[in-house]
Amino acid sequence: MGEMQREKVAVIIGPTAVGKTKLSIDLAKALNGEIISGDSMQIYRTMDIGTAKVTKEEMDGIPHYMVDIKDPED
């Protein structure tokens, strides 16, 4: 069998308000990457206040996944 190529994945974790969003966007730009959010509250549409959800402006063209994918009633 051929050898599988494994892609590297960067995981950024830390407490609220330490700059994870900016770091992830800067890293994605540098590596031509994309962002998959693991935040338990940012999955919900309309819950922008209190979740520090990334804005469209902050995304700066970087694809983000697992943000605004469910309604809070689900």
Q: 């051929």: which residue's tokens?
A: 2
In a domain, 22, yes or no: no
**pLDDT single digits (tens) 13-70:** 999 889 999 999 999 999 999 999 999 999 999 988 888 889 999 999 999 999 999 9
pLDDT grade for 1, boundaries at 50, 70 and 90: low
Model pLDDT, residue 68:
95
In a domain, 14, yes or no: no
In a domain, 24, yes or no: no
In a domain, 70, yes or no: yes
In a domain, 53, yes or no: yes
Domain count, the chain: 1
What is the domain extent for residue 43? 39-74
Q: Write down the pTM of the prediction.
A: 0.82
